[in-house]
């Protein structure tokens, strides 16, 4: 049996989560949670609907950071001028999620909390140096998003905790792109994906972050690829080496959506396309 | 019948041929249409099936005690409660509503419950304990050939080969010897499924007299009626089957299904209405979708492309039951001959039983797989002969009004017009080969039946019947057994009757698909409905017209043939202002003749094919389609995009061009899914469906749907109502080969399999770069001793449609006999 509660305040929610025993989940858009429940992956549990609680909503500047509430939908991300300026990779990633209906329903918090290895928004958020904000009745904490998921659908969230939102530094002149290959153009998970966020100066890369989706047990930061891109001046040879590194950094599996080999190859191709997307000349 | 095909050709058509809304469109758009799952009755129970978790096993025991003991459970059934087998074809009645002792695929039903609500029903089926004794799993065609035991069905022709058959028309060896070029090609066509948006659902009720009513989302209420009577051992007269509008069928709702029989039995046992609505996963298990087929073709051609001999071999992976499979097998060999002249023709067909959901009829039924190979094969032959693939085909088209090597009678054919239309509109001549890197054009043509010439079970009765009731108020009610599955068959009935009687479709009420109220129509399959019910409606309407004009003529003192019907009036054609309203005309007729009702019926013309197996392929009329597809192939990701395509379809005459275009474009969309991404994939060793959900079974969305340029070619066929032929299935057929041929034109590699997996495109490109054969696809057929062919001399050898050798004496084993 699934018991669904709809608390009005964050305080009530946190009390509910703290008092409950056994598995408990926070329900926002339900696009992932309901699908998992229908697939039999979630059994008897407590679901706390966060939809009535204002603390989870909003996209705002908070000092030097940008903050996105966990209940922010993908559509709201796509339409946000603030994020268009400071998080272009995230805007592209959210635009690639599901279908219009799924984007209207699904949330950033859900994308993060589920810990999927191919989570589109997470892939872009990793290139923004994002942190996750978690709240529990007695404690609030923040940790790097890169440390949040530890394996496929495994996260460090404690049962009494809820994802409140994500934050990342508002970096000026940041460019970003998100590219993926998928079984079709919409309403599907990616076979492989690459997010890039970077600052360019005079045609050279001054700052870069690269993340790989769908090609490992969780979304991966491609630290080696980033180093490659920063080490040498921009050139076709730099690109080729970075592509090779991205392929080497991927740790994909075979599954029904794709072969591991194909996914690995795509990491290089998608990196090239993402770099093209942020305005680096390729040939 | 023949006299009513061209009713008063002088009169211009008012309704037929004009774009109109469907008669059910408003209800569909406003959500008022009631589908089977929308039905609710007082005291209604919820039924649910327990399905096998084993792909192949014997049932040692079933313990239902925990389910029976649950509060809110009304009844629990197992195989012993429904011991009589059934199946759509009399030669393969190999299914049980609930498996008595042998489960044959993951999803095979073994028990059922009726309960107060769906949650209790689900808990109850989960409480049933089944003890299985696993058997080795047969997961593929190759395994079925290699492992004759354990047999999935004892009635198979041999081992796990359900059917093994061969037909030869003329002498193919001689034909190949006469050729300038002989080429052989192999292809694998993956299985896929219909994906109707509406999941199968039914509600059964038993009344106080013990009579049964079943509402169901079925394409074939008549066959469900027969199956219920058989399996429940009830007189057919005590059973009423009502087919509700189908939320898509595509062939997937053409068999009688386990859940229909189970719901009926539960209603009889519990004396409550019982509803069973399948979930999406169960729909994937009901399946009856496209057979996976491994194919080969060897063809001999002259330098100009004339076909001197052709030999097809088709290995069908049938899944766990017969379904329509025997017909499907014949269909993989039947229609190769109706597009281009084939002088000598041979066909080997093998259908394997495997431990997977049963395959059956999906849009195109057995013909898309061989057509796909044939059109790809001809593209390759044209390449070898350095001929333009379109021009080569145009030289050798089957003539209208001719008989093929396998005795199919072709009447009208707009194939040439279709081909020329798409060739010209796509600017084939100037654009092909000049589109730049990664872009290409491909061509294919095809043909399909407008209804099968023979019924599924042997009888000499009409295939379709229509009754009209004319009301004093001027209304007309049309009764017909046909089922509207979204294609618009209810609308066709209204249009035809409105045309003949001079009234508006809105004045007509259409009552269909109710075995108590409507005369039999065999069902919405094999693209038969517009032609057959259309002709039956035309005959009934002509007879009503006759009564009206006689009565009105008598009243006005004019000869009946002076009386015209139109604009909701009956009038003197010489002085149109003299006349009366249609309602008054009906009153005149009723006063003169008594209650006004007329009937019409249709039976297809006799077939020339008299050999065993000749029942599959003949049709009153063949539709023709031709397509040019444009593709873009991304050589780095292997992704194939179809930005635009041109399709022309010869439908004889468009009763409503909007509906025909809708059918054509729907077929194209479905074909694109089959070639680009769809597949029913299994973990072969376990027989487990990998993708039984809408999330993971990928079919195209609007984002993949190309710009379509659709052209209707109207070459009226004398056998069709107003000349109409089919449009529901044929336009799917050229899609897959046209796309595959375009991929070759774009990047020079042959993908000899469906769907086109991007990684296989990359593999083919790599092979090409390495100087190997630039193709991916099967490279060999399984080793097998083929059946001795039924030999039939061709018409041009003086044959009469009968076999001269190879016909087995006696009859084929049926499941029940094999079991004894």
Note the pLDDT tens digit of each residue in B113-135.
Answer: 999 999 999 999 999 999 999 99
Q: What share of chain B is helix, strand, coil (3-state, %, to 5)?
A: 30, 25, 45
B700 touches chain A (CB under 8 A): yes
Which residues of B are less than 8 Å from A188 in CB distance? 698
Q: How confident is the model at residue A283 (pLDDT cuts 50, 70, 90)?
A: low
Strands (E), B13-67: 45-51, 57-63
The whole-angstrom separation of Cα B682 and Cα B99 is 22
- Say if the Cβ atoms of A185 and B704 lie within 8 Å: yes
B637 to chain A, closest Cα gap in Å: 7
The whole-angstrom separation of Cα B304 and Cα B636 is 38
C-alpha to C-alpha distances, B221 to B153, B276, B520, nearest whole angstrom: 27, 17, 9
- Say if the Cβ atoms of A181 and B637 lie within 8 Å: yes
B309: left (phi over 0), alpha (psi -120 to 50) or beta: beta
A32: nearest CA in chain B? B695
Contacts 24+ apart (CB under 8 A), A60-65: A61/A170, A62/A167, A64/A169, A64/A170, A65/A167, A65/A168, A65/A169, A65/A170
Q: How confident is the model at residue A39 (pLDDT cuts 50, 70, 90)?
A: confident
B698 touches chain A (CB under 8 A): yes
Kindly tell me if the per-residue pLDDT of B2 is higher than 70: no
The pLDDT score that the predictor gives to residue A257 is: 84
B690 touches chain A (CB under 8 A): yes
- Say if the Cβ atoms of A185 and B701 lie within 8 Å: yes
The pLDDT score that the predictor gives to residue B811 is: 58
A263: nearest CA in chain B? B759
- Most A CBs within 10 A among B195, B637, B705, B755, hence the mutation to make, goes to B637
The pLDDT score that the predictor gives to residue A282 is: 66
Kindly tell me if the per-residue pLDDT of A83 is higher than 80: yes
The pLDDT > 70 percentage for chain B reads 97
- Residues of chain A with a CB closer than 8 angstroms to some CB in chain B: 35, 39, 99, 181, 183-188, 256-259, 261-262, 265-266, 269
When pLDDT is averaged across residues B609-629 and rounded to a whole number, the result is: 97
Q: How confident is the model at residue B102 (pLDDT cuts 50, 70, 90)?
A: very high
Which residues lie below 8 Å from residue A158, measured CB to CB, with a gap of 6+?
A134, A136
Instruction: Tally helices (H) and strands (E) across chain A.
Output: 11, 14
Note the pLDDT tens digit of each residue in B395-426.
Answer: 999 999 999 999 999 999 999 999 999 999 99
C-alpha atoms less than 13 angstroms from C-alpha of B141 in its C-beta half-sphere: 24
- Say if the Cβ atoms of A269 and B636 lie within 8 Å: yes
Which residues of A are less than 8 Å from B682 in CB distance? none
B695 touches chain A (CB under 8 A): yes
Under a CB-based contact definition with an 8 Å cutoff, are residues B357 and B283 in contact? Answer: no
| Buried b or exposed e, range B429-458, using 16+ CB within 10 angstroms | eeebeebeeebbbbbbbbbbbbbbbbbbee
Under a CB-based contact definition with an 8 Å cutoff, are residues B326 and B155 in contact? Answer: no
Kindly tell me if the per-residue pLDDT of B225 is higher than 70: yes
Q: What is the CA radius of gyration of chain B?
A: 27
What are the backbone dihedrals phi and psi of residue B540, each rounded to the nearest 5 degrees, phi first? -65, -40
- Say if the Cβ atoms of A259 and B691 lie within 8 Å: no
DSSP B283-318: HHHH---BPPEEEEEEEEE-TT--EEEEEEEEEEE-
C-alpha to C-alpha distances, B486 to A270, B274, B282, nearest whole angstrom: 42, 26, 22
- CA angle at B661 for the pair B658 and B664, rounded to the nearest 5°: 150
Instruction: Number of A to B CB contacts under 8 A, please give it.
Output: 38
Closest C-alpha to B77, from B85, B69, B68, B86: B68
Closest C-alpha to B415, from B649, B733, B729: B649
Closest C-alpha to A255, from B691, B203, B661, B676: B691
B595 touches chain A (CB under 8 A): no
Note the pLDDT tens digit of each residue in B709-730.
Answer: 999 999 999 999 999 999 999 9
Which residues of A are less than 8 Å from B677 in CB distance? 183-184
- Say if the Cβ atoms of A269 and B637 lie within 8 Å: yes
Residue B648: DSSP 8-state? E
Touching A: B residues 13-52, CB under 8 Å: none
Under a CB-based contact definition with an 8 Å cutoff, are residues B333 and B311 in contact? Answer: no
Which residues of A are less than 8 Å from B636 in CB distance? 269
Collapsed DSSP state (helix, strand, coil) of residue A92: helix
> Any idea which of A123-127, A200-204, B55-59, B301-305 has the lowest mean pLDDT?
A200-204
Kindly tell me if the per-residue pLDDT of B6 is higher than 50: no
- Say if the Cβ atoms of A181 and B704 lie within 8 Å: no
Kindly tell me if the per-residue pLDDT of B686 is higher than 90: no
Q: How far is CA B255 from the centre of its chain?
A: 11
- Most B CBs within 10 A among A262, A271, A283, hence the mutation to make, goes to A262
What are the residues facing A178 on neighbouring strands? A195
- Say if the Cβ atoms of B696 and A257 lie within 8 Å: yes
- Say if the Cβ atoms of A184 and B639 lie within 8 Å: no
Kindly tell me if the per-residue pLDDT of B144 is higher than 70: yes
The pLDDT score that the predictor gives to residue B586 is: 98
B703 touches chain A (CB under 8 A): yes
The pLDDT score that the predictor gives to residue B819 is: 56
The whole-angstrom separation of Cα A20 and Cα A48 is 11
Under a CB-based contact definition with an 8 Å cutoff, are residues B502 and B22 in contact? Answer: no
- Say if the Cβ atoms of B637 and A266 lie within 8 Å: yes
pTM of structure: 0.97
Q: How confident is the model at residue B511 (pLDDT cuts 50, 70, 90)?
A: very high
Closest C-alpha to B655, from B539, B787, B494, B776: B494
Closest C-alpha to B485, from B194, B52, B107, B94: B194
B682: nearest CA in chain A? A256
Which residues of A are less than 8 Å from B282 in CB distance? none
Residue B76: DSSP 8-state? E
Note the pLDDT tens digit of each residue in B324-340.
Answer: 999 999 999 999 999 99
Which residues of B are less than 8 Å from A39 in CB distance? 693
B636: nearest CA in chain A? A269
The pLDDT score that the predictor gives to residue B695 is: 87
CB count in 10 Å sphere of residue B133: 11
- Name the burial class of residue B371, with classes exposed (0-12), middle (13-18) and buried (19+) by CB atoms within 10 angstroms of its CB: buried
When pLDDT is averaged across residues B606-618 and rounded to a whole number, the result is: 95
Residue A169: DSSP 8-state? E
Domain boundaries, chain A: 55-169, 179-277
Closest C-alpha to A134, from A112, A151, A101, A111: A112
Touching A: B residues 621-680, CB under 8 Å: 636-639, 677
Q: Smallest Cβ distance to B698: which of A99, A183, A269?
A: A183
What are the residues facing B340 on neighbouring strands? B397
Q: Which fold has domain A55-169?
A: 3.30.465
When pLDDT is averaged across residues B424-438 and rounded to a whole number, the result is: 96
Which residues lie below 8 Å from residue B485, measured CB to CB, with a gap of 6+?
B219, B245, B246, B248, B249, B250, B253, B524
- Say if the Cβ atoms of A35 and B691 lie within 8 Å: no
* Continuous H helices in B181-304: 221-232, 258-270, 280-286
When pLDDT is averaged across residues A73-86 and rounded to a whole number, the result is: 98
Collapsed DSSP state (helix, strand, coil) of residue B546: helix
Q: Smallest Cβ distance to B677: which of A181, A184, A265?
A: A184
The whole-angstrom separation of Cα B125 and Cα B117 is 13
Kindly tell me if the per-residue pLDDT of B820 is higher than 50: no
What are the residues facing B778 on neighbouring strands? none
The pLDDT score that the predictor gives to residue B386 is: 98
A188: nearest CA in chain B? B695
* Continuous H helices in B557-622: 582-593
In this structure, whether the domain defined by A179-277 belongs to CATH 3.30.390.50 is answered with yes
When pLDDT is averaged across residues A220-235 and rounded to a whole number, the result is: 97
Query: ipTM for the complex?
Result: 0.95
Note the pLDDT tens digit of each residue in B754-808.
Answer: 999 999 999 999 999 999 999 999 999 999 999 999 999 999 999 999 999 887 6
Note the pLDDT tens digit of each residue in B241-257.
Answer: 999 999 999 999 999 99
What are the residues facing B565 on neighbouring strands? B570
B704 touches chain A (CB under 8 A): yes
Which residues of A are less than 8 Å from B693 in CB distance? 39
Which residues of B are less than 8 Å from A179 in CB distance? none
The pLDDT score that the predictor gives to residue B7 is: 46
Note the pLDDT tens digit of each residue in B550-604.
Answer: 999 999 999 999 999 999 999 999 999 999 999 999 999 999 999 999 999 999 9
Q: What is the mean pLDDT of chain B?
A: 96
Q: What is the mean pLDDT of chain A?
A: 96
- Most B CBs within 10 A among A2, A34, A181, A239, hence the mutation to make, goes to A181
The pLDDT score that the predictor gives to residue B810 is: 59
């Amino acid at each position: 049996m699934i018991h669904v509660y709809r608390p009005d305040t964050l305080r009530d929610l946190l009390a509910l989560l703290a008092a409950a025993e056994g598995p408990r989940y926070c329900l926002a858009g339900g696009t992932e949670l309901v699908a998992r429940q229908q697939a039999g992956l979630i059994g008897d549990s407590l679901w706390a609907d966060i939809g009535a609680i204002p603390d989870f909503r909003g996209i705002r500047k908070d000092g030097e950071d940008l903050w996105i509430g966990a209940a922010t939908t993908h559509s709201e991300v796509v339409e946000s001028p603030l994020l268009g300026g400071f998080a272009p990779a995230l805007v592209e990633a959210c635009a690639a999620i599901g279908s219009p209906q799924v984007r209207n329903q699904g949330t950033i918090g859900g994308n993060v909390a589920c810990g999927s290895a191919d989570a589109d928004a997470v892939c872009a958020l990793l290139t923004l140096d994002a942190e996750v904000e978690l709240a529990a009745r007695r404690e609030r904490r923040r940790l790097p998003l890169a440390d949040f998921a530890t394996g496929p659908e495994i996260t460090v969230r404690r049962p009494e905790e809820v994802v409140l939102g994500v934050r990342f530094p508002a970096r000026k002149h940041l460019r970003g792109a998100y590219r993926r290959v998928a079984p079709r153009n919409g309403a599907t998970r990616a076979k492989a994906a690459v997010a890039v966020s970077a600052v360019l100066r005079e045609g050279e890369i001054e700052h870069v972050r690269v993340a790989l989706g769908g090609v490992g047990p969780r979304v991966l930061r491609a630290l080696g690829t980033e180093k490659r891109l920063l080490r040498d001046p921009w050139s076709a040879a730099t690109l080729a080496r970075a592509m090779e590194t991205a392929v080497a950094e991927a740790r994909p599996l075979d599954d029904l959506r794709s072969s591991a080999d194909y996914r690995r190859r795509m990491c290089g191709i998608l990196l090239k396309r993402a770099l093209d997307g942020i305005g680096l000349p390729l040939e | 019948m023949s006299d009513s095909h061209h009713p008063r050709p002088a009169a211009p058509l008012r309704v037929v041929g004009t774009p109109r809304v469907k008669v059910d469109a408003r209800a569909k758009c406003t959500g008022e249409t009631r589908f089977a799952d929308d039905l609710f009755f007082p005291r209604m129970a919820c039924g649910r099936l327990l399905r096998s978790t084993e792909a192949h096993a014997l049932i040692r025991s079933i313990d239902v005690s925990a389910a029976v003991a649950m509060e809110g459970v009304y009844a629990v059934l197992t195989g012993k409660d429904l011991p009589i087998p059934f199946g759509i074809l009399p030669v393969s009645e190999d299914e049980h509503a609930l498996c008595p002792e042998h489960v044959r695929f993951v999803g095979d039903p073994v028990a059922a419950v009726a309960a107060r609500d769906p949650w209790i029903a689900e808990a109850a089926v989960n409480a049933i304990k089944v003890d299985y004794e696993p058997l080795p799993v047969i997961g593929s065609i190759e395994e079925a050939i290699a492992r004759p035991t354990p047999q999935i069905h004892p009635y198979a022709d041999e081992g796990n080969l359900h059917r093994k058959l061969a037909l030869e028309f003329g002498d193919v060896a001689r034909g190949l010897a006469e050729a300038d070029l002989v080429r052989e090609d192999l292809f694998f066509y993956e299985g896929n499924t219909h994906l109707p948006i509406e999941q199968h659902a039914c509600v059964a009720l038993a009344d106080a007299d013990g009579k049964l009513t079943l509402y169901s989302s079925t394409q074939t209420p008549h066959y469900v009626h027969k199956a219920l009577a058989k399996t429940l051992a009830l007189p057919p007269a005590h059973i009423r089957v009502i087919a509700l509008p189908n939320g898509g069928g595509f062939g997937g709702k053409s068999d009688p299904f386990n859940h229909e029989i189970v719901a009926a039995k539960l209603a009889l046992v519990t004396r409550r209405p019982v509803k069973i609505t399948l979930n999406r996963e169960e729909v994937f298990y009901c399946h009856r979708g496209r057979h996976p087929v491994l194919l080969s073709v060897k063809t001999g051609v002259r330098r100009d492309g004339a076909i001197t001999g052709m030999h097809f071999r088709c290995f069908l992976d049938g899944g766990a039951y017969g379904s329509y499979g025997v017909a499907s097998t014949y269909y993989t060999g039947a229609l190769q001959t109706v597009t281009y002249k084939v002088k000598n023709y041979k066909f080997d067909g093998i259908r394997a039983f495997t431990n997977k959901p049963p395959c059956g009829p999906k849009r195109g039924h057995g013909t898309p797989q061989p057509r796909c190979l044939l059109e790809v094969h001809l593209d390759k032959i044209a390449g070898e002969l350095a001929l333009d693939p379109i021009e080569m085909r145009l030289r050798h088209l089957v003539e209208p009004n001719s008989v093929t090597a396998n005795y199919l009678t072709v009447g009208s054919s707009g194939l040439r017009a279709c081909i020329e239309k798409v060739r010209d509109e796509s600017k084939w001549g100037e654009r092909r080969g000049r589109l730049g890197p990664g872009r290409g054009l491909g061509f294919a043509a095809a043909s399909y039946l407008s209804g099968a010439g023979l019924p599924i079970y042997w009888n000499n009765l009409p295939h379709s019947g229509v009754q009209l009731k004319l009301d004093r108020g001027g209304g007309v009610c049309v009764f017909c057994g046909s089922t509207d599955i979204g294609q618009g068959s209810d609308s066709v009935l209204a249009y035809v009757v409105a045309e003949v009687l001079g009234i508006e479709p809105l004045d007509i009420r259409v009552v269909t698909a109710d075995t108590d109220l409507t005369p039999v129509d065999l069902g919405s399959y094999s693209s038969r409905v517009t032609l057959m019910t259309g002709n039956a409606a035309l005959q009934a309407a002509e007879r009503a017209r006759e009564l009206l004009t006689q009565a009105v003529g008598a009243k006005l003192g004019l000869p009946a043939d002076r009386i015209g019907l139109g604009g909701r009036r009956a009038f003197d054609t010489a002085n149109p202002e003299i006349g009366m309203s249609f309602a008054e005309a009906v009153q005149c007729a009723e006063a003169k003749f008594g209650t006004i009702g007329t009937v019409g019926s249709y039976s297809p013309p006799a077939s020339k094919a008299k050999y065993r197996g000749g029942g599959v392929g003949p049709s009153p009329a063949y539709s023709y389609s031709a397509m040019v597809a444009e593709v873009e192939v991304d050589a780095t990701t292997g992704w194939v995009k179809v930005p635009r395509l041109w399709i022309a379809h010869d439908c004889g005459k468009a009763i409503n061009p909007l509906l025909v275009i809708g059918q054509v474009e729907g077929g194209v969309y479905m074909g694109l899914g089959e070639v680009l991404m769809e597949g029913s994939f299994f973990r072969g060793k376990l027989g487990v469906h990998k993708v039984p959900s809408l999330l993971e079974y990928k079919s195209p969305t609007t984002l993949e749907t190309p710009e379509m340029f659709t052209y209707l070619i109207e070459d009226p066929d004398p056998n069709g109502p107003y000349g109409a032929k089919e449009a529901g299935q044929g336009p799917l057929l050229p899609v897959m080969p046209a796309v595959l041929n375009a991929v070759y034109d774009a990047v020079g590699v042959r993908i000899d399999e469906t769907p086109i997996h991007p990684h296989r495109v990359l593999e083919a490109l790599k092979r090409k770069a390495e100087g190997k054969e630039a193709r991916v696809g099967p490279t060999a057929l399984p080793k097998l001793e083929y059946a001795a062919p039924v030999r039939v001399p061709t018409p041009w050898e003086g044959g009469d449609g009968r076999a001269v050798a190879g016909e087995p004496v006696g009859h084929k084993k049926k499941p029940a006999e094999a079991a004894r």
